[in-house]
Amino acid sequence: MAVYTEVSDEELFAFLQAYDLGPVLSFKGIAEGVENSNFMLHTQSGYYFLTLYEKRVREEDLPFFLGLMFHLSERGITCPQPVKNRAGEVLGRLAGRPAAIVTFLEGMSPRRPDATQCAQVGEMAARLHRAGKGFSLHRKNALSLAGWRPLYEASAPRADDVVPGLRSVLEHELKFQEKHFPTDLPGGVIHADLFPDNVFFLDGVCSGIIDFYFACNDAFAYELAICLNAWCFEPDASFNMTKGMALLAGYERVRRLDPRERDALPILARGSALRFLLTRLVDWLNVPAGALVKPKDPMEYMRKLRFHQKVASAREFGLAA
């Protein structure tokens, strides 16, 4: 989450006239993340998140994201629910941007996940994959293989300013992925951004997931690759096998991986690391002046990519035979 677009009091009050939420008690921007402008909204009826969509989020994709939250909630996945205005609509415009209000979820994101939390997020990912079945809308993953070369071309001219030699590393890995990235794996709706800051826990139990604005149709195993990168590395960039085993076992308690997915996991993990390295690098090099945003360190994913380049089998992630 972040703030790129400021909202005046007058604009906010005019926007909220269409809703039955009561008087505003507080309203403040949220600095974490890099994609949209996000605000914590407290009204007489409770707490909400208000999001202004910008950057990579296309307005035509918003019915997919907002509709998916309703679909998943109806099938037992705890996630924010878009708030309808008096006309029954969930999408409006505020400060020149598409905007929506969603309900607030209780819980805290883990700062340093443990193995028990990794197991729960694995289970949650598998439950989400099952719950997504039957969702009527379809969205291609804009940040899968076909989207990586444009990101590389946007960042390559200044990549070596961040770390000498980075451009060569990116070029080499991109060529590898374009040659080896797997296709035709089992798939459906995935979250595509199941990082710890998007998963909440209460009293040690996973209480819900948020931020569906990268959700799309893609390989289920690619979701697992993202989770391995996001949940199973320590601050010194070492891979924690115990966490990897817990996450993968948690997933397979709900949905078993087939042999093709198991074989593909090392390449998918490399691809996932490249994807986040590239998007973070682009954001690092292009922070808008005056934006309330904290760009994330792209080199975290450089270190993870280096690890994955040496992995030959999913057993090295802790996947049971």
Q: Which residues contact 290 (CB under 8 A, 6 or more apart)?
A: none
Average pLDDT, the chain: 93
What separation in angstroms does the CA of 9 have from each of 14, 65, 94, 107? 9, 27, 11, 29
Q: What is the pLDDT of residues 168-201, one digit of tens each?
A: 999 999 999 999 999 999 999 999 999 999 999 9
The per-residue pLDDT for 291 is: 57
Query: Is this structure's pTM higher than 0.85?
Result: yes
In percent, how much of the chain has pLDDT > 90? Answer: 87
Q: What's the pLDDT band for 156 if we cut at 50, 70, 90?
A: very high
Domain boundaries, the chain: 9-102, 115-317
Q: What is the DSSP string of 195-213?
A: -GGGEEEETTEEEEE---T
**By the 8 A CB rule, do 186 and 258 touch?**
yes
Instruction: Give the tokens for residue 268.
Output: 């998918």
Q: Does domain 9-102 have CATH number 3.40.50.300?
A: no
- Is residue 62's pLDDT more than 90? yes
Q: What is the dihedral sign for C-alpha 152, 155, 156, 160? A: negative
Helix (H) or strand (E) holding 64: helix 62-74
Integer distance in angstroms from the first to the last C-alpha of the chain? 39
pLDDT at 294 over 80: no
Please name the residue that has the structure tokens 């946007």: 154
Rounded distance, CA 201 to CA 222, Å?
23
Please write the tens of the pLDDT for every residue from 241-261.
999 999 999 999 999 999 999
Give per-residue burial for 17-52: e unless 16+ CB within 10 Å, then b. Answer: eebebeeeeebebbeebbbbbbbebebeeeebbbbb
* CA–CA gap between residue 147 and residue 167 (Å, rounded): 17
Q: How confident is the model at residue 54 (pLDDT cuts 50, 70, 90)?
A: confident
Which amino acid belongs to residue 128? L
Average pLDDT estimate for 94-109: 93
Q: Are 58 and 144 in contact (CB under 8 A)?
A: no
Fold of 115-317: Aminoglycoside 3'-phosphotransferase; Chain: A, domain 2 (3.90.1200)
pLDDT of residue 45: 94
Residue identified by tokens 């079945």 is 133
Q: What average pLDDT does the segment 277-297 reach?
A: 81
CA-wise closest residue to 192 among 223, 213, 230? 223
